[in-house]
Amino acid sequence: MFDDEKIEAGIRLLLEGMGEDVNREGLRETPERIARMYHEIYGGLEMTPEEILSKTFTAANNEMVLEKDITFYSTCEHHLLPFYGKAHVAYIPNGKVVGISKLARTVEVYARRPQIQEQLTAQIADAIMEYLKPQGVMVMIEAEHMCMTMRGVRKPGSQTVTMVTRGAFAENRELQDTFLRLAK
């Protein structure tokens, strides 16, 4: 899916647009390096949550499962600058669970794309709802946006917090409070 030649040409053009000499030593291999890097940092574009969440196990009980402090790195699609932080993902099983590492991998699938934080939060929750069919899902993301700290309003350390509830979590204040208390 990635067209490396196009990416490299684009980076060259970008540098030229800034008046840079794309043939100077430091920049000569930059387009190629960036194309290679994009396979990694935008690798989520080539992955689906299905391959991660389709393998499930029968659950003995249906108590809340919470994976907290999942570190992630993503890229803001408005500025192509990083935003990064922690995701907390919980669900209440409906007879089925997935391996714990699969929640972190689901975060990766959506983080490694041009993104906005609100959408990232919702996509994680919706993928778990779709493939695991749990009673409910809650996802909270706390992130620092480089487009807020190295440009624009320049507020280093400020955190953007987004939250999404689905199913049982959407209707139940007590469940939300439990999630928030555990995620702290």
Chain positions contacting Zn ion, by CB under 5 A: 76, 78-79, 147
Least Cβ distance, residue 129 to Zn ion (angstroms): 27
Please give the residue whose beta carbon sits closest to Zn ion in the complex: 147
* Residue 145 a catalytic site member: yes
Least Cβ distance, residue 75 to Zn ion (angstroms): 9
Q: Could you say which of 117, 123, 135, 176 is catalytic?
A: 117
Q: Which is nearer to Zn ion, 99 or 152 (CB)?
A: 152
> What CA–CA distance (Å, rounded) separates 160 from 142?
6
> What CA–CA distance (Å, rounded) separates 13 from 28?
13
* Residue 39 a catalytic site member: no
* Residue 78 a catalytic site member: yes
> What CA–CA distance (Å, rounded) separates 19 from 157?
32
* Residue 117 a catalytic site member: yes
Q: Could you say which of 46, 78, 130, 159 is catalytic?
A: 78
Least Cβ distance, residue 125 to Zn ion (angstroms): 22
Is 132 buried (19+), middle (13-18) or exposed (0-12) by CB count in 10 A?
buried
Q: Which is nearer to Zn ion, 78 or 155 (CB)?
A: 78
Q: Which is nearer to Zn ion, 32 or 144 (CB)?
A: 144
Q: Are 122 and 106 in contact (CB under 8 A)?
A: no
Least Cβ distance, residue 159 to Zn ion (angstroms): 15
Q: Which is nearer to Zn ion, 55 or 78 (CB)?
A: 78
For 106-175, the DSSP string reads: HHHHHHSSEE-HHHHHHHHHHHHHHHH--SEEEEEEEEEEHHHHSSTT--TT--EEEEEEEEHHHH-HHH
Q: Could you say which of 67, 76, 123, 176 is catalytic?
A: 76
- Listed residue (78, 81, 77) closest to 150, CA to CA: 81
- Listed residue (65, 58, 5) closest to 35, CA to CA: 5
**DSSP single-letter state for residue 95:** S
Least Cβ distance, residue 77 to Zn ion (angstroms): 8
Q: Could you say which of 77, 118, 130, 171 is catalytic?
A: 77
Active site residues: 76-79, 117, 145, 147
